[in-house]
Chain A
Amino acid sequence: MYIDPHIHMVSRTTDDYQRMALAGCVAITEPAFWAGYDRSTAQGFADYFRLLTDTEPKRAAQFGIAHHTWLCINPKESEDVGLAREVLGLIPGFLDRPNVLGIGEIGLNKNSRNELLVLEEHIALAKRYGVLILVHTPHLEDKLKGTILIMDAMRNQGVDPGRVLIDHVEEHTVRHVLDRGFWAGMTLYPDTKMTPQRAVDVFEVHGTDRLWINSAGDWGVSDPLAVPKCRVEMRRRGHLQDAIQKVSFDNPLQFLSQSGRFRLEP
């Protein structure tokens, strides 16, 4: 059994749900993200939130997978602060839906001033409603700077780091994140991010506490079976079943259960 705590099923086929279930997936969480194009209105986000809170849970349940979600306007669409504020205004209306765990995936993309402003407003919203936060960190050369700016923004608002997961960590950011008390996620991507091999290296260097793995499967080159493949890689390298279970099931269960909403049954 495993949990994929970050996957964008809106971009995946029903066959993927079936293959994930066959590989042992029992629960997923789907953060709101960029659709590959900029939505032109807040109403476009309202429809997306309806899909995340109504349509996807039903599609997942057909395969025995419990579906959960996180809501936000993502940093790639945060340059337009006016639109971002309209979307922020919609979120409270969805927060009491049964599969909503919190605010996410918020964060930074190019580390711009408007992105940071919209991030701060999301953090304030999460604090006001007492919900968990899932963070997207920038890619490639922007990741290190963005990760630190994001953690500073959390600290400035007095957020409990034990209720925040910072995702897409790599070898140069994982220590910063864990040392400051946050949870950290590793995204297993076929080419541009972490490979399963490197993720297992990170466990060997930094241990398995407060760390999880996910596929972040979406509309790009990505693999909805990345989590079970990493479990196989750990096993192949001689890691004990306890450690495998910890990073792909126990840790996500522990973090997500803080929401009071996380379930293993659909």
Chain B
Amino acid sequence: MMAGTPTHTKRQVIDDSFLENRAKVLDLAAFLDRVDRAAGALDAAGAKEAPDDDFRTDALRRAIALLLDGKPERARRILELWSDHSTEPIPAAPMKGALGTVDLR
């Protein structure tokens, strides 16, 4: 057997990890509900944007669509979806951290 080859059956993988992933789906649902419920517009200047106008929740919704397309390598494809696909260095670093996704809108 090649090193790294999966040894568990589909049934074993589901038995093993269903409850953990069931909880993660609920976390995601509750997070989107929490955003909907939260007060205030997203823009500090008071613009009346809907909560899903934020580029991050928008990116999350697009990733969820990828989960449902029935094709393999979902993790890789979601990471690619959220990635900066430009190829030239930027003039200067605007900050040290990263936001988690580019703006896909």
CA distance A243 to B89 in the complex (A): 38
**Is B79 within 8 A of A109, CB to CB?**
no
Assess A113 versus B82: contact at CB under 8 Å? Given A138-B98, A141-B102, A171-B75.
Answer: no
B-side interface mostly? loop
CA distance A140 to B99 in the complex (A): 7
**Is A172 within 8 A of B83, CB to CB?**
yes
**Is A145 within 8 A of B75, CB to CB?**
no
Chain B CB within 8 A of A142 CB: yes
Tell me the count of chain A residues lying within 8 A, CB to CB, of chain B: 39
Residues from 128 to 144 in A contacting B, C-beta threshold 8 Å = 138-144
Tell me the count of chain B residues lying within 8 A, CB to CB, of chain A: 34
Question: Which residues in A have some Cβ–Cβ distance to B below 8 Å?
Answer: 34, 76, 79, 109-116, 138-145, 148-149, 170-172, 197-198, 201, 203-204, 206-208, 237-240, 242-243, 246
Question: Which residues in B have some Cβ–Cβ distance to A below 8 Å?
Answer: 1-8, 17, 73, 75-76, 79-80, 82-87, 89-102
Interchain Cβ contacts under 8 Å between A and B, 16 examples: A79-B93, A109-B93, A140-B100, A141-B83, A141-B84, A141-B101, A143-B79, A148-B87, A149-B87, A170-B79, A171-B76, A201-B75, A204-B4, A204-B5, A237-B7, A243-B3
